A and B are shown apart, each in its own frame.
Chain A
Amino acid sequence: MIQVKELTKIFKDRKRGEVRAVDGISFECKPGRIFGLLGPNGAGKTTILRILSTILRPTSGTALINGADVVEDPLKARRQIGFLSCDTKLYGRLTPREMVFYFGRLYGMKEDAIARRAEEIFQLFGMKDFIHRRNDRLSSGMQQKVSIARTIIHDPPVMVLDEPTFGLDIMASRAVIQFIRKCREEGKTVILSSHVMAVAEKLCDEIAIIHRGRILATGTLKEHQERTGKEDLEEIFVHLVGEENGANIGH
């Protein structure tokens, strides 16, 4: 369960002055469902997800991760989360096994619990034959599997995924999509960001379209279709963003 309340993040940029990357956003993601943040570059998707994973602190507002406040108790919130993004790279000189054990230990798990869980994950993702090779010598598909293993070693109830299929080939992104569906089946709360319409269309139970730090519309694909009268998510997206830009010019 994720409850986002009036979340705002302002960056002070030397050149651009104040940047409102997230501007008073509220929404809720329920367990067993996949919530998608869809928006163009610079919309604020990464910033929202970084706040949820407590890497960044919000300027105002807050979010609760299974009841743990990301501002008040970031350590507790972090333990509930598995966070995966393009910016969470692997330690090149460690092996997948060492990587996974390192994070398991940092999450406070016991050695035998880590070993059991790791075994399960390596089995599930077919990683057995490369868990003793160095991370920097793995293909990007293998690396993505290691990253996923790192993300779920502590079996978190909430998954926060920033562009989870970015830069992956068809086979690797299929594997990731399967993994995300499995998380839903297990009753985890999943939030992901994407600017690839197909991924959002295929995966998400609920989609929030965001633009310039604000949510333009939230709902299921069907609800979006009914509201805008367009079939395709891309059309819906262009329609909403166009409307917003039109409204801005009108002011």
Chain B
Amino acid sequence: MNLRNIKIIYRKELLDSLRDRRTLISMVLVPILMFPVMILGVGIIMGLVISKAVQKGSKVVIVGESFGESLASKIQEKEGVEVVEMENYEIALRKKEIQTVLVIPKYFEESLARADSTELRILYDEAELRSQMAEKKLREVILDYRDEVVSERMTSRGIEKSFLEPFVVTSVNLASKEKMGGMVMGLFLPYMVIILSLTGAMYPAVDMTAGEKERGTLETLMVSSASRKEMVLGKFTMVFTASVITALLSLLSLFATFALGSSLTISILEDFPFSIQPLGFVTVFFMMIPLSAFFSSLLMMISIFAKSSKEANSYIHPLVFIIVLPAMVSFLPGVELNSLMAMIPIVNTSLVLKEVLMGTYHWGNIGLIFLFNFLFAALGLWGAIGLFEKETVLFRV
């Protein structure tokens, strides 16, 4: 084996890939744009929808207003609520002409005066954002009103407030901010990064093998004096490069998105206080390297076997589904990394990334998984070389 030849082939494939718009899109553009578009896009759209709903305010029909005039006047004072009169209020609610209906029972104030208990009914439409918000507002006003009534009753009977509230419960969350943010991120980030590094390797792997068969350049390469093994290794190195670049760019883009998102105070990002230490970032990236190598060799094996890009893609699509499932293991609460899990490719990376993002570093496991994944990559590479040396595979008819 000649290292110089591997380097020559790698350099040529790199140049070739950089001139190929589709490789650039899958290697650079998709990982950079994916997260901002997804997270900021969803955040901005949700923000717009909510602020529009808030602006519009909500229309409320109060049935039996005369039975509870003091409550009705409190509702009228509430910001963003407009009390309207309507006969067929249920139909109007379905037609979205109004957002909620408050039904005040007969003799409501009389029963309050008697210190009885009675029922207030709110009609709303849970499937409508504006109706949901209106219900919340209405409930706020009503509960405030109830508290007033209660405290009036207590003072009139000379009862202290502490009688009803013998103690208060305060929960103190000791999880670090990193862990809280990491918990949310740990759920879906491993999955996203794993899938992106797979897709980053996909196009170049197919293009450099099955694609070359299809375009008739593979036979040209085979008469050069590089050995088949050197050809596979040179091409593999390029596929691996593409996959690692994709993983790195998607990680960077993710963190940039969160940094940008929190400076723009986008509402859904405020719910996910996310920060990661440099150590976490570096560890996540390093754990992606052997997995990228594994994906690259696996994809190369498949596309060396295929006669055309089309055939290769038809094998790869089912593979993506097979890989998506173990990658999603990070979504499952309670699945913890153990030595058995550490030996299952993809599952091990998904779980270890989740741990690292939550600030837990089991260096033994991390090292083990790193080595195991490289072992799987080596196996895949060995298979790819074996297939590439078989003329029945290269000249399949």
Contact = CB atoms under 8 A, between A and B. Distances in A.
Interface of A: 12-13, 53-57, 75, 78-79, 81, 83, 85-94, 98, 102-103, 105-108, 150
11 contacts: A54-B223, A55-B391, A56-B395, A89-B216, A89-B219, A94-B12, A94-B15, A105-B8, A107-B224, A107-B225, A150-B220
Interface of B: 4-5, 8-9, 12, 15-16, 19-20, 215-217, 219-220, 222-227, 391-392, 395, 397
Nearest to B394: A55
Contact of B216 (A55, A88, A102, A105): A88
B223 A94 contact: no
Nearest to A77: B225
Nearest to B396: A14
Most buried by A among B217, B223, B226, B395: B223
B223 A78 contact: yes
Contacts of B225: 75, 78-79, 106-108
A102 B234 CA distance: 13
Contacts of B392: 12
Nearest to A12: B392
A87 B16 contact: no
A61 to B, nearest CB: 16
Contacts of A91: 12, 16, 217, 220
Contact of B219 (A12, A13, A55): A55
A88 B219 contact: yes
A28 B19 CA distance: 45
Contacts of B227: 75
Contacts of A83: 223
Contact of B224 (A13, A86, A90, A103): A103
B8 A88 contact: no
Contact of B223 (A81, A89, A93, A98): A81
Contacts of B391: 55-57
Contact of A92 (B8, B9, B215, B223): B215
A13 B19 CA distance: 38
B8 A106 contact: yes
Nearest to A135: B217
A233 B140 CA distance: 103
Contacts of B219: 55, 85, 87-89
A106 B216 contact: no
A98 B15 contact: yes
Contacts of A93: 16, 19-20
A53 B221 CA distance: 12
The 4 closest A-B pairs by CB, nearest first: A89-B216, A106-B224, A88-B220, A83-B223
A239 to B, nearest CB: 32
Nearest to B228: A74
A81 B222 CA distance: 12
Nearest to B230: A106
Nearest to A93: B19
B220 A106 contact: no
Contacts of A12: 392
Contacts of A56: 391, 395
A33 B220 CA distance: 25
Given A83-B223, A88-B216, A93-B20, 5 more contacts: A56-B391, A91-B220, A106-B224, A107-B225, A108-B4
A81 B395 CA distance: 21
